[in-house]
Structure 1
Amino acid sequence: MRHAHLHPHHSVWHDEPEPDYPTLTDSVAVDVCVIGLGGSGLTCIHELLELGVRVAGIDATTVGGGAAGRNGGFLLAGLAAFYHDAVTAIGREQAAAIYRLTIAEIERMAAAMPGVVRQVGSLRIAASAEEIADCAAQLQAMRADDLPVEPYRGPEGEGLLLPTDGAFQPLQRCRLLAEQARRGGALLFTHTPALAIDDTIVRCPQGQIHARHVIVAVDGGLEQLLPELRGVVRTTRLQMLATAPDPERTIPRPVYTRWGYDYWQQLPDGRIALGGCRDRFAADEWEAPAEPSAPVQAALEQILQERIGSRTPIERRWAARVAFHVGSVLPIARQVHSHVWAIGAYNGTGNVIGALCGRAAARAAVRGDVTLMRLLDGTARG
């Protein structure tokens, strides 16, 4: 029977059994150790392999076992903040440069995995008159910088069409990246948590990794693994659900609404994946475990029925832990101390910006090139 092997809280993306990777049970020596086998960590590993260094990657759970395999499957250009808000926060030049780089990263992903990525664009749909005005401000700012955007009015409502965005199967991409990295010579270990980072030694329950550089590529829980980031990074929980295939609904592209707090897409097989409502229960979601809660799930069900108009049975409910960069629209992409680099805290939308951070960390650690890292974070030394 379909999905019979799955945990009840697995995401809609978990349609195949977990690939087999070993657990670290010895000591190994490499040039770079990457902690975290999600999208950003695996992109980092690929960049490191292209730079010709020996790489080991570890994950406390499985490949894509964190937010990388439990998110909404959106590929969004730019930062988590809407473009005009990013311009206000960091300036037009930096915001535009990041936006263009993320467009290029989506193109790169689509070219590398055409069966995984769907370049269908995305919608920002206003949920109030105030948000309609904010969409107009975003449209004006993007057009001023020659960024692709169109006003939109359609069955979903009124807002903006972002034509360079897309959708994908995030867990499938992680698994493909991992297998490609293994074939390329990377040593990958799952169910291998990093207990401590002692300078260039990563200590794990049954072994350790000696490396010239360590790159911590986790999102949720980043501040727990690197106490240096406490107060700078804070972890919260995002929740989702997914229906059985709904033949009555046609949702051509991912939808963001209510200031981005609610979001959904319809998968090629007709299932609807819906997430959000974190802001309505924000105090309960900070530092919460990656398990769905009844209040948020009930709110999501209400959106499914009343806003989307679907009464198809719900097949999956799940949650993921993600990190926010306190007081900043930018992610964390920096050297935290000698030989140790950190990337994460993507403010809820890390699929594309996280990949860029992975490339930035690889170049900074191996080549000392912090150009991209300075653009993404602004605090990199070098």
Structure 2
Amino acid sequence: MNTPVWDDGNWRGLPRLEGDLETEICVVGLGGSGLSAILELLRLGRKVIGLDAASVAGGAAGRNGGFLLAGVAKFYHQSVAEHGRDLARALYRATLEQIERMKQETPQAIRPVGSLRIAASAEELADCAAHLEALRADGFEAEPYAGPEGEGLLIPSDAAFNPLLRCRALARQALEAGARLFEHTPALRISGQEVQTPLGQVRCQKVLVAVDGKLEQVLPELRGRVRTARLQMLATAPVSRRFPRPVYRRWGFDYWQQLPDGRIALGGMRDAGGEAEWTTETAPSEAVQIRLEQLLEQLDVRAPITHRWAASVAYTPSGLPIAEEVRPDVWAIGAYNGTGNVVGAMLGREVAWVLNGSWMPGAVLLNSSHIEAT
């Protein structure tokens, strides 16, 4: 059992690449960031081929908790302290705009219900207050919260979504716009002019590697700067309506949402797994799954568990993602530190412009000195 609750079984799949093809730009990775890049490149008039070693959103892009959160991985007040107020504010504003764009692109996949950050201790509740103060000081929406889930803050501009539904919708849009996409086609060797696969090759002018988890395996140059971890989740049968908004709790280590049909999708407890969770293994582990079951009991959710799954995500010491030219004409984006749904889509669009030979108007991440870009 390693199938996410998001998978309805209706995806027909895409072919493997067989033979040799030519294009202008080859994108390796058909998750949210890769597909966003492909669609932006198509809008810019470029010819694109996209490859994935598994399937569309077969990695973390289609196996995550389904949160659309503004900002980068660290909470806003932490981002201000570590990256400076100007950059933190610009990043937060840009991610708010990206969430609005995502609502327009795939409205069928997104529920604009806001999100809750809930404290699990007095210390965390004080941190929630600092988080709230920083958001309000810069004019962003947030309010204190106390309710059945606990105490913390409500962020109305966030959203919940079905990540796999969104990515599959983006893939269909890309195909309709002229992209050629291939599943079950791993990139064995990558240069700026050629991507070798088991049954063929793509000759091109530039390559974008849009991979989150296991990025350091695809591009060994990033080892030591990027580290892959396993995130685990489970889902239950439907229960009565309990959680109108997605919940982020215990510093973000635990998170859950209730789907429109009443099912609970719950994840986290990575810290409980210890060093064993720093792995490229994607099968759920008994130790973490037991802790997730215990969290369900704490929430008084009494329903059969129907799904268990895991995914690989990558982290950086700074909490900011990778976005750089790793080899001549080979760009890499990824390592979203567990929160790539919004930032990854935004980076995909920004890097598409770079591959097209210019800078996207209003680009924030690539204009930041904190992101390595050439």
Tell me if both proteins adopt one fold, taking TM over 0.5 as the criterion: yes
Structure-2 residue corresponding to 1:350: 340
1:317 aligns with 2:344: no
Matched with 1:106 is 99
2:271 to 267, 272, 279: 279
**What's the offset of the Cα at 1:127?**
0.3
**Range with greater deviation from structure 2 (211-220 or 111-120):** 111-120
Q: 1:309 corresponds to which letter in structure 2?
A: D
Q: Deviations over 1:21-80 (max 9, x none)?
A: 110111111111000000110000000000000000000000110001100011010011
Q: 2:154 aligns with which of 141, 148, 161?
A: 161
* Conserved 8 A contact 2:116-2:152: yes
Maintained 8 Å contact 1:334/1:373: no
Residue segments in structure 2 that go unaligned for 5+ positions in a row: none
1:29 corresponds, among 22, 34, 37, to: 22
Equivalent pair of 1:83/1:142 in contact (CA under 8 Å): yes
Residue 119 (structure 2) aligned to one of 102, 126, 135: 126
Structure 1: how far apart are the matches of 2:373 and 2:11? Answer: 39
SS at match of 2:36: helix
Pick closer, same or farther for the CA change 1:377–1:43 going to 2, 3 Å. Answer: farther
Q: Which residue number corresponds to residue 3 of structure 1? A: none
The count of residues paired between Structure 1 and Structure 2 equals: 372
| Structure 1 spans left out of the alignment, 5+ residues | 1-7
Distance, in Å, in 1 between the alignment partners of 2:172 and 2:42 is 13
Q: Of the candidates 304, 326, 339, which is equivalent to residue 296 of structure 2?
A: 304
Structure 1 distance, partners of 2:63, 2:10, is 15
Amino acid at match of 1:349: T
TM-score (norm 1): 0.95
Q: 1:309 offset after TM fit, Å? A: 0.8
Q: Which residue of 1 aligns with 2:63?
A: 70
Among 215, 218, 224, the alignment partner of 1:225 is 218
Alpha-carbon distance, 1:380 to partner: 4.2
Greater shift in the superposed pair: 364-373 or 211-220: 364-373
CA distance in structure 2 between the aligned counterparts of 1:275 and 1:145, rounded to whole angstroms: 31
* CA 240–128 in structure 1, closer or farther in 2 if over 3 Å, else same: same
| Partner Cα separation in structure 2 for residue 104 and residue 64 of structure 1 | 23
Query: In 2 relative to 1, CA 377–353 (structure 1 residues): closer, same or farther, beyond 3 Å?
Result: farther
Alignment match of 2:108 (pick from 105, 110, 115) = 115
Give secondary structure in 2 for the equivalent of 1:352: helix
Which of 154, 163, 167 is 1:170 aligned to? 163
Residue 282 of structure 1: CA displacement? Answer: 2.5
Offset at residue 358 of structure 1 (A): 0.3
Correspondence for 1:11? 4
Q: CA deviation at 1:149?
A: 0.8
1:30-45 superposed matches below 5 A: 30-45=23-38
SS at structure 1 position matched to 2:134: helix
Indicate the SS of the match to 2:23: strand
Q: Where does residue 354 of structure 2 map in the other structure?
A: 364
User: Residues 106 and 275 from structure 1, CA distance in 2 versus in 1: closer, same or farther, beyond 3 angstroms?
Assistant: same
**Residues 112-153 of structure 1, C-alpha deviations (whole Å, 9 max, x = no match):** 222210000000000000001101111111111111111111
Shift of residue 379 of structure 1? 3.9
> Equivalent pairs: percent with the same residue?
57
From 10, 13, 18, the counterpart of 1:20: 13
SS in structure 2 at match of 1:363: helix
**Equivalent residue of 2:13, what SS?**
coil
CA distance in 1, matches of 2:86, 2:99: 20
Residue in 1 that maps onto 2:200: 207
